[in-house]
Each structure stands twice: as structure tokens, then as C-alpha cells.
Amino acid sequence: MAAADQFAALPSEVRGIIVRNEIDGIPFRARTAYTHRTWARTFSSLPELFIQPHSLEEIQKAITLARQCRRRLVTVGSGHSPSDLTCTSSWMINLDHFNRILSLDPATGVCVLEAGIRLFQLTAALDAAGLAMPSLGSINEQSIAGAISTGTHGSSLRHGLVSESILALKVTLADGTTAACSPEERPELFRAALLSVGALGIITEVTFKAVPAFSLAWDQTIDADSRLFATWEGELWRQAEFVRVWWFPYMRRAVVWKADEVAKADLEDGRVRHHDPPTSFQDSRAGYLLYHNLLAVARWFPRITPWIERLVFGLQYGFRNGPSTRVSAVQPSHKAFLMNCLYSQFVNEWAIPLHKGPEALQRLGAWLNRLQPGDAGYVDHRIPFSAKGLWVHSPIEVRASDTTVQSGAARGNRPFLDITPDDGPALYLNATMYRPYYKDPPGSATERYYEAFEWLMRDLGGKPHWAKTFTVSPDEFGTWFGEDWRQFCRVRDEADPEGMFVGPWHRRYLLGEETGAGGGGEIKRLELEEVGFVREPAREGGFRVFGRQNPIVPA
């Protein structure tokens, strides 16, 4: 424990159990009085203990003590999910000090990692060894374990989830043992752990297959979204290895970013040189503050939101369409993939079949712009909610991937909870609502927008990204995933029968409100499950959540 006064703040039963376990010589690096906040400050919580182990033995000890003290255990990294997935009033474990590279073979690209390593640390170490991750999302703050556990993906039809490069895992389970798994060894545990949303155990070791380091030559252009739809089935997603799009519904314009690998020989002999793009308006201090403050003003006058979007878009990308808007750069891949997330935000992201993209965007655009028959761009959106008085933020981020290219059930490396189609490419649509200065948009704007957005995504056969904001019941998930859902739940129950890694988020979306055999509507709970999150407005913005713990049963 960090200090005597902090130790004294714990219940006497917990103190007694911890004292009895100090004789083994394994440190228990824990402290109280810690406030956990998500990156966007949408949620915060006050864990009873915040634990930062430095070794596998310390992780195993933390799990053993949590079991003896009848406590739930939550693993947290960067907290980039805007949901309350990582919140707890029980015990929280952070692996930032469990982040070494245990082995790295430049010849094969195989590296073995402690699971707390952040992606920016990993990509830097790989680059120094002449290696790289084959694909990466838009940020690199997550731990490798967090990226795996929530289904992080890039933007390429030649790649799927980041986890497709994982060769093997080690997971420390609720009984304190550490299990090795791979497509060949305990394959069901492996497929569950590849996207576990923290409900299975603690991923402690990752065996990863890197590729030779590469640089990307990329460019982006701006055009009318009609051009986007016209090229959708042809060149749009196949014009380069990596493609991503930002769509602005109020302006009916889109930014298309594409990137291909640069031949190493061209870089070595100087025919191609690394260079960054010009500093964009939003990446400048003035641009960042202008947009942030305009968003804050729009909380009081939401009707000006489209005007703000048009102004800032023009200052960022230009007011014209076509080739004259082209911006380009040549950068190492781990730098080229990244983008500025700007401000605190809610994010609701779903995956639908790729070919349904134009229909999704056209219907959403018609609804948001309240188009009528005869208006340019009108389609029958069929969304059964009113958009009257609703003004939302831009852009919609549009990305594609294909999990079927390098992973699958037959190969044993497709997660049970992979949200992408199992018979072809996926399109990810990401609807963002900013929270300027950590303040929510006015009224029920976010809820109404996301209610309509999710209705449309369901209508198009979509599933939500696990790390983002969504409202889906376990029954819906069970129907969508079928046998894979039942397999995941079975593996989870076997790995953690008492619910040490289960909290209100998991009950809400994974486990459902199962009624016990005694009747009377009593909800059946697992012994170590944390229950009953209560939300209270937090002074710094968002909500502070409080859970209830089961009574202590001394060991």
C-alpha cells in the first residue's frame, strides 16, 4: 500500500486480508483516493483501490486478493471509450508499468509484449528495429490489450482488426492462473480473448506479428459527395491500400484520404523524401481555439451549427472542390495513420456491409437536412424520428475493413464478438458529437441523433463498435451473433464463474437481466459482480458513477 493513512481508509476485513498476504514478498502496489476519468470526461468513478503492478506475479496477487476480498476487478488503460465500461467503485488495475517488450525478432517480425504497452510505445520500439504494425487506427494512446479487447481496426480492405496480427495470448483468469491460448492451443479461449471487452480476465502477454517498417505516400482531396457515391463500387475503396473518408452532411462534401506504401529503394536513393503536410487550420492554435469556442457558442444557439461547419470546413480544407484541393505528404506509417481527435466527444460507431454505404449516407443526409421531394439529394430516409430543431456535428468518419481477408473461424483468429460481416467487407460509420469544454450538447440532441442513427444502422444490418456509445440489448446481440454469442458467453462463464470481471456495463449489454429461479422478479447476480451504477453530474463535466459491492467474505 502507498501510505498508512490510505490503508486505514479501507474496510477492516480488506485490511486484514491484505496484511495476511504481505508475507509472500510480492508487492501489492495499490493506492486509494484515485479518480478515474474517461479521456472525454464523459464518465468518472472513484475506485476503492487503484493498482499498478510491475510483474505477472503482482497481477496474479492482485487477482487473488480481489477474490479473497470479494471485489470486482476492472482493467483500464487510456480510457478512450466514452462509455462507462471502465468505471468502478471496486478495484481498478492499470498495466502502464507492465509494458516491456520481452522479445523481438527483426527477421520474422514476431515480438512478445507485456500487455500494458501503449501503441505509441510499441510503434516506436518496432520502428527502431525496422518493423511496424501492418495497420493502425486513428490514435495510438491505447494499450495493446485495450486495442485487442475492443475490436480496434484501421481503414483498408486489405486488413481487418488489429487483432488479426496476434499469434498468441496469455490471459490471467479469475482463479489467479495464467492460461496460454492461440489458434492451436485453447482456441475457444483465444477467440473470446481477442475481443473480450474486459469480461474474461486480464490479458498479460501478447505475441504479435509485425511487418517490415514502411512509409506511406498519402494525399487527400475534397469533392461533392455525389462524386463519392458515383465511385463507391469502383475505384473509391480500391484506389490505394489505405482509404478513409470524412463526410460533411450539411455541405454535401467529402474529404477522401488515400495512402500507398512507398518503395524502400525510392526513399534510400532520394527519389522520394519524407515530408509532413502543411499545418492545417484546426491543428494550429488559432484554429483549434476558434472551432472550440464556436462549438461552445452553439450550445446556446444550436441553429448556427451548419454555418460553423461550413466556415471551419472551408478554413481547414478550402472552399472549392476537385483536384485543386489536394494536400499530400510522405510519412512513416505509424505517423501517417494518426489524426487529431480535437475535443471531448461522444462517438457512436457501427459496422454495416460495405455496399450499403451510399444508401446509409444518403438516407442520413436527407434526414439531417430535412429534405423534401424535389430537393436536390432527396431520398426517402424512412427514419421514424423527427429531425426538427436538431443540429449535429461533423464529420461522419467513414472507413472500411475486411476481416475475412486474414482472419476467420476456420483459422481460429476471428473473435467471437467481431462486429463485421463474415462474408465480405465492412463499412464503419462514426457519428461524433463534440462536448466543448466538457459540456454536453443542449437538451436531448445527442440522444435524439443517436436514436435515429442507430435505427438506420439496424435497418441496414449493422452492429455497434464495442468501445463506443450505443444502446443495444443482450437479446439483440444474441440474435445477431448467434452461435458465436453463445460460445463467447460459455467461455466467459467458465473463465470467470463468480463474475470478478463483470460490472453494470457487461450486465447491460452482455449478460442481460436474468431472473432467478425463486420468482418474484429477483435479478440473478454473480457473486463478485458489481451492481447498480448510480449516475450523478460531475463538477468537471459528464457523470460520476457509483456501484455497489457484495458483502465481504473473509478468506
Identify the weakest region by mean pLDDT among 5-9, 233-237, 373-377, 530-534.
5-9
Is the full-model pTM beyond 0.75? yes
* Cα distance between residue 413 and residue 145, in whole Å: 16
DSSP state of 210: -
pLDDT over 50 at 280, yes or no? yes
Residue 356, Cα to own-chain centre: how many angstroms?
23
- Confidence category of residue 533, pLDDT binned at 50, 70, 90: confident
Would you place residue 19 in the very low, low, confident or very high pLDDT band (cuts 50, 70, 90)?
Answer: confident
Strand partners, 104: 111
What value, to the nearest 5°, has the Cα angle with vertex 134 and ends 130 and 135?
A: 130
Higher pLDDT among residues 406 and 218, named by residue: 218
The model's pLDDT over 299-337, given as tens digits with 9 standing for 90+, comes to 999 999 999 999 999 999 988 999 989 999 999 999 999
From residue 161, how far is each of 41, 111, 140, 417 by CA, in Å? 26, 18, 15, 12
Q: Do the beta carbons of residue 21 and residue 64 sit within 8 Å?
A: yes
Residue 286: strand pairing partners: none
Residue 1: per-residue pLDDT: 46
pLDDT of residue 2: 46
- What digits encode the pLDDT tens for the residues 93-138? 999 999 999 999 999 999 999 999 999 999 999 999 999 999 999 9
Model confidence at 49: pLDDT above 50: yes
Residue 409 has pLDDT above 90, yes or no: no
Look at 38-47, 527-536, 543-552 and tell me which has the smallest mean pLDDT.
Answer: 543-552
The total number of residues shown for the chain amounts to: 555
Does position 540 have pLDDT exceeding 90, yes or no? no
Distance CA 317, CA 164 (A): 34
Q: What is the DSSP string of 346-365?
A: EEEEEEEEGGGHHHHHHHHH
pLDDT tens per residue, range 373-389: 999 999 999 999 999 99
The average pLDDT across 219-227 equals: 95
Return the SS3 of 308: helix
pLDDT, position 234: 84
Q: Give 228-248 pLDDT, tens digit per residue.
A: 999 999 899 999 999 999 999
The residues facing 351 across adjacent strands are 428, 463
Cell numbers placing 279 = 499545418
Indicate whether 224 pLDDT > 70. Answer: yes
- C-alpha cell of residue 155: 481503414
